[in-house]
Amino acid sequence: MIAKSLPAYALLCLLSACATPGVVTDANWPRESSNIDGYDLAATERVLNYGLTQIQAKAIESPFLERFVLLGLRGLSDIDPTFTVVEVGGRIQTYVGETLTSELTKPQLNTVDEWLDIFQGSIIGARRQSDPIRRANEEEIYATFFSTALENFDPYSRYAGRLQARSNREVRNGFGGLGLSYSTSDLGLEVRAVQPGSPAIAAGLRAGDLITHVDGQTVATKRSWTILRLLRGSVGSKSLLTVLRGQLSGAKQVEITRSLIVPQTVEASLEDDVAVIKIHSFNQQTSKTVQTEFVNLRRQAPSVSALILDLRGDPGGLLDQAVAVSDLFMDTGAIVSTIGRHPESIQRYQAFAGDITAGLPIAVLVDSRSASAAEIVAAAIQDTGRGVIVGTSTYGKGTVQTVIRLPNDGEITLTWSRFHAPDGYAIEDLGVLPMVCTSGAEQSPTEIIQNWQKSSSQFAAQRSRWRTVRASDIKARSALREQCPAQVRDDDSIDLDIAKSLISNKEKYAQAVGLTATTAAQKEQ
């Protein structure tokens, strides 16, 4: 039975002993060493031990440690395609080509430490026979191990090395920078826009300026990553820019002090007397910016009569920001609940009193790319009867990820809970059902609304099925989504026109909100 499951060369080695003297076994595995031939065992153990321990404790499903480690180990074939792993009679064997490089006893207690021994011993053996694996540094080993294992775990768990993790943190939390966007040219960096309230504004920079040098270094020939390193730095640090304005003469030196720059995720505008706020993603400043932008719009136009929240194309982001944005427009009610294995992943979020719109009508625009945090906001607004949803079924990304920072400064983004809408349904693989569906819309906004009014009684039945379908019934969930097929609609003005029509007509809006409020109330009872 074993023979049938082994590659031919592995069977040959099992029968005729192909191992070299360098094969790693239980007897000669150098566990006390911290560095072997340039491979830092101690550092690798710290990173892998911490990562595996956290995954074991926090993953939404308890990971089968053996499968996880062996998948990660097999990932070394990305570095050397001749590397393979087989299990023979309670032993884990690794081969490079047809040469046995390690043979270790399968752990009995199934602990992280035991499986780390398997991994480390296998790496040591492989390095003795494989040039590509020997040349791979520790960072490449981490990336190969975690990425291969996590991609077989779930679609949203992933590993990021030091540089990518730093970039991820900057997107989430901000970075020390100047607050400008630019394009590169043969002459330098052409400023395209400056962020309000940023150091660039304070230093007098404006769109059209050309930056030729940063701290005396020319930027025209630099790679993009090098340019970022020159422009970014610690908050409060200073930099000297050489700037040209207008004709290529009269360069001036501009000293600028870096501050915390958080990428802008919010745009705001007025459409007649309707405030339109588009959220591109959710980072740590999103809710604060939404509030500021709405207040500014209302200051410009005190007659603002409604709000359209455009979440089309929004892939999501931080959970706490989704909760905070929802809470801006709600006086009471549930926002979202999260459920996982780890005690800290089990949370229920409720709205606090204080609606910044003072009860104005709200319409939320969604499409197939509205995901995660965007779906939390849409579901909270709809399920509590606070507003109406217009568009198509959303993405259906109903899981929450936690970020685990590793000792090497890389990070694991790990799925650790599922979130549930106020009505109680799991959003994973289902999404949010719009009140007014615009999938494949070929009619005018007026005709779409008229048809919706005629068939609005069907919405309650659809919503009932949406709320009660089992999370495990993928076929039924897929069929429900087809009632309003998910489509990309972020450039379609029909959604916006329909939203305006609904929120400007008290009777239509009351009818729409009444249907969602009724289903939410039924759930409360």
Q: Are 190 and 210 in contact (CB under 8 A)?
A: yes
The predicted structure's pLDDT at residue 9: 44
The predicted structure's pLDDT at residue 21: 57
Q: pTM for this one?
A: 0.82
What is the DSSP secondary structure assignment for residue 227, as one 8-state letter?
H
Whole-number Å distance between alpha carbons of 233 and 237 = 7
What is the DSSP secondary structure assignment for residue 77, as one 8-state letter?
G
- Crossing angle of helices 445-468 and 493-504, rounded to 10°: 90
The predicted structure's pLDDT at residue 32: 72
Q: Are 230 and 217 in contact (CB under 8 A)?
A: yes
Kindly give, in sequence order, each residue whose CB lies less than 8 Å from that of residue 444, ignoring residues fewer than 6 positions away. Answer: none
Kindly give, in sequence order, each residue whose CB lies less than 8 Å from that of residue 501, ignoring residues fewer than 6 positions away. Answer: 445, 446, 449, 508
Whole-number Å distance between alpha carbons of 472 and 227 = 49
The predicted structure's pLDDT at residue 281: 94
Question: Could you list the pLDDT tens digit for every one of the 525 residues in the chain?
Answer: 333 344 554 444 444 444 455 798 988 877 777 777 778 889 999 999 999 999 999 999 887 889 999 999 999 999 999 999 999 989 999 999 999 999 999 998 889 999 999 999 999 999 999 999 999 999 999 999 999 999 988 889 999 999 899 888 887 877 888 988 898 888 889 999 888 888 999 999 989 999 999 998 999 888 887 888 888 888 889 999 999 987 655 788 999 999 888 888 999 999 889 999 999 999 989 999 999 999 999 999 999 999 999 999 999 999 999 999 999 999 999 999 999 999 999 999 999 999 999 999 999 999 999 999 999 999 999 999 999 999 999 999 999 999 999 999 999 999 999 999 999 999 999 999 998 889 887 778 888 888 877 777 777 788 888 888 888 888 888 888 888 899 988 667 899 999 999 999 888 888 888 777 654 444 444
* Angle, vertex CA 489, rays to CA 488 and CA 493, nearest 5: 170
Q: Are 127 and 37 in contact (CB under 8 A)?
A: yes
What is the DSSP secondary structure assignment for residue 219, as one 8-state letter?
-
Strand partners, 217: 214
The predicted structure's pLDDT at residue 10: 47
Q: Are 368 and 392 in contact (CB under 8 A)?
A: yes
